[in-house]
């Protein structure tokens, strides 16, 4: 049996060791925000944070994660509360707030991975340029983060707003 920390909680996993994290999260642990997109690390719909790094949960066997800490979109509010020291009830992570304020999603299936990737970026680079955001969502990982609806203009707006929110420049 493997133990991984998911969104701050230790969770025991019964699945066979070769099971990709995505199926463990969704099937066994009931953590549903990472989505199945391609199963080949080609799209980013299944992205989660492993520590501070974005990974593709669809190709990451759970055996590689013993004792590691996984954050999904469900865990972003608590992650922000830890980082910022504030813990307002029902508050979201600034990236999520920005996604609402900018009305980013169309169908939304890719946005869980997009928000994870942008969170990773903003924790390392507090005021990214357009080029930084595009680089993060295109060439920094195993594949670009794909949006079929074409919400890229909104994602760019969302990422910039999230940076300002995290810097406390806007509310």
Partner 1 sequence: MSADLNIHGASLSRRGFLATGGALIVAVSVKPGAATAAAGTTLDATAPASWIEIHADNTVHIRTGKCDFGQSSIYTAYRQIVAEELDMPMSAMTEVITGDTDRTPDGGGTFGLLRTNVLNLRKAAAYTRAAVLTLAAQKFGVAEASLSIKDGMISGGGKAASYGDIVRGGDFKLTIPVSGDLMSPRGLLVDGTPPLKKPSDYKIVGQPVMNPTIRPKIAGQMPYVGDIKLPGMLHARTIHPATLGSTLVAAGKVDKALYPGAQTVVIGNLLAVVSETEWEAVSAAQQVAGETKWTEWKGLPGHERLFDHLRKSVDWTVYPTRDGRANRGDPTAVATKKALKASYNVPYHKHAPIGPMVTLADVRADGSVTLHTISQNPQHLRGMIARMLDISAEKVVVRTYPGPGHFGRSNGGSAGTEDEAVLLSQALGRPVRLQWMRPDDMQWSTQSSAMVADIAITLDDAGRIATYEAEHRGPPMQDDRLVGALLAGKPVIPAPGAGVAYGFQGGELNIADAWVYGTVANVREQGFGTDQLGEKSSPTAVGLRDHSMRTPIQFQQNFPRESAISEAAALAGADPIQFRVDHVDSPRFKTILARLRDESGWVTRPSPAPTAKARGKAAVRGQGASIMLRDNGYWACAAHIAVIPETGEVKVERITLVADPGIIVNPLQLKRQVQAGCLMGVSQALHEEVMFDEGAVTSTDWSSYPILTIAEMPELRVIIAGDAEAGIYGQGSESANALAAPAIAAAFFDATGKPARRIPLRPDHVKAMLSA
Give the integer Cα–Cα distance in Å for 12 and 154: 38
Looking at 49-57, 78-86, 136-144, 160-168, which segment touches partner 1 (CB under 8 A)? 136-144
Distance CA 171, CA 169 (A): 7
Q: Applying CB under 8 A, does 148 fall inside the site for partner 1?
A: yes
What is the per-residue binding string for partner 1 in 42-71, x denoting contact by CB under 8 A? Answer: xx-x--------------------------
Q: How does DSSP classify residue 65?
A: G
Instruction: Compute, in degrees rounded to 10, the torsion defined by CA atoms 131, 134, 139, 142.
Output: 150
Q: What is the DSSP letter of 61?
A: B
Binds partner 1 by CB under 8 A, chosen from 20, 94, 128, 141: 20
* From 24-32, 49-57, 121-129, 160-168, span contacting partner 1 (CB under 8 A): 24-32
Q: Which is nearer to partner 1, 35 or 160 (CB)?
A: 35
Residue 33 in contact with partner 1, rule: CB under 8 A: yes
Q: Kindly state the helix (H) or strand (E) to which residue 156 belongs, with its residue range.
A: helix 152-166
End-to-end Cα spacing for the chain? 44
- Contacts of residue 141, defined as CB under 8 A and 6 or more positions apart, other chains included, come to 44, 47, 54, 56, 117
Q: Are strands 69-71 and 2-6 parallel, antiparallel or unpaired?
A: parallel
When asked if residue 80 is in the footprint of partner 1 (CB under 8 A), the reply is no
Binding mask 91-130 for partner 1 (x = CB under 8 A): -x---x--xx--xxxxxxxxxx--x---------------
Which residue in 29, 94, 151, 166 binds partner 1 (CB under 8 A)? 151
Which residues form the interface with partner 1 (CB under 8 A)?
15-16, 19-20, 23, 26-27, 32-33, 35-40, 42-43, 45, 72-74, 77, 92, 96, 99-100, 103-112, 115, 133-135, 137-139, 143-156
């Amino acid at each position: 049996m493997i133990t991984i920390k998911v969104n701050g909680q230790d969770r025991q996993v019964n699945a066979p060791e070769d099971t990709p994290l995505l199926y463990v999260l969704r099937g066994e642990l009931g953590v549903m925000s990472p989505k199945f997109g391609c199963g080949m690390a080609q799209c980013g719909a299944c992205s989660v944070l492993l520590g501070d790094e974005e990974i593709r949960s669809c190709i990451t066997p759970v055996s590689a994660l013993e004792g590691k800490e996984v954050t999904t979109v469900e865990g972003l509010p608590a992650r922000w509360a830890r980082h910022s020291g504030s813990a307002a009830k029902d508050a979201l992570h600034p990236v999520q707030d920005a996604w609402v304020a900018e009305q980013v999603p169309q169908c939304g299936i890719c946005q869980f991975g997009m928000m994870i990737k942008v969170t990773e970026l903003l924790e390392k680079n507090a005021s990214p340029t357009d080029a930084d955001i595009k680089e993060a969502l295109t060439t920094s990982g195993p594949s670009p983060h794909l949006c079929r609806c074409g919400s890229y203009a909104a994602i760019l707006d969302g990422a910039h707003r999230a940076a300002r929110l995290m810097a406390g420049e806007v509310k």
